[in-house]
Amino acid sequence: GAVVSQHPSWVICKSGTSVKIECRSLDFQATTMFWYRQFPKQSLMLMATSNEGSKATYEQGVEKDKFLINHASLTLSTLTVTSAHPEDSSFYICSARWAGVDTEAFFGQGTRLTVV
Amino acid sequence: DAKTTQPPSMDCAEGRAANLPCNHSTISGNEYVYWYRQIHSQGPQYIIHGLKNNETNEMASLIITEDRKSSTLILPHATLRDTAVYYCIVRYGGSQGNLIFGKGTKLSVKP
């Protein structure tokens, strides 16, 4: 299957600082990218959907000013957690898909964020 | 909300077939059935998807009932490395369709 690379795999940051997570599609052009968050022992929760060159669409309850998403190219999307707090500690996962009716989405390996 | 119902957990003996059921009674005509799995602390891995017909690839087979209200994922010869949470997801076939994850089935393959 296609490869989606996420970086970093884990990060520890101080409360109040910002953290940027990168998601790259290595061997295909991702017209749509998705960002998920997963708390321990829970399922993945969709945070936002972004299409290349346009603003992200956030799911209800997700603060767009706190979770900044940029999808400036067909191979790169970034998620910036601004002014991080301990409750933002979670497993963040991106996925990417190319245009098409029934194309599958491929997932990155995830980023473990710990805010101390 | 997820539009599928799966048993929370299942066990399977190593080397035997693992049959994972999924109910999606409200599926519409243009929605596909996707299966992903997640091994602990990793991103989900795509397994297979289908619309109406049964599908098979190198990983698994997908059997969809004629009325499309349920499906079964079959891992023909389960190994210990198949222990994971398996998610059945229905997704609108358009380019904007999202993957909404439910709680999935925790499959434990035992020696």
- Mean pLDDT for the stretch of residues A84-99: 93
Q: What is the pLDDT of residue B94?
A: 62
Q: What is the pLDDT of residue B48?
A: 95
Inter-residue contact A91 to A79 (CB < 8 Å): no
Q: What would the two tokens of residue A30 be? A: 């991702």
Percent of chain B with pLDDT over 90: 81
Beta strands B9-13 and A19-25: pairing type?
Answer: unpaired
More reliable by pLDDT, B55 or B95 = B55
- Mean pLDDT for the stretch of residues B38-67: 95
Q: What is the pLDDT of residues A1-31, one digit of tens each?
A: 689 999 999 999 999 999 999 999 998 888 8
Distance from CA of B109 to the nearest CA of A (A): 19
Cβ distance A107 to B46 less than 8 Å, yes or no, reads yes
Which member of B45, B98, B103 has the closest CB to residue A43?
B103
Inter-residue contact A3 to A98 (CB < 8 Å): no
- Judged against a pLDDT cut of 90, whether residue B50 lies above it is answered with yes
CA–centroid distance for B55 within its chain: 12
User: How far is CA A34 from each of CA A14, A17, B16, B73, B84, rounded to the nearest angstrom?
Assistant: 26, 23, 35, 25, 22
List chain B residues with CB under 8 Å of A32. 95-96
Q: What is the pLDDT of residue B29?
A: 87
Q: Which long-range contacts (CB under 8 A, 24 or more apart) does B64-68 make?
A: B64/B33, B68/B24, B68/B27, B68/B33
Distance CA A28, CA A100 (A): 13
Q: What is the pLDDT of residue B3?
A: 86
- Mean pLDDT for the stretch of residues B33-58: 94
Q: What is the pLDDT of residues A57-86, one digit of tens each?
A: 999 999 999 999 998 898 999 999 999 999
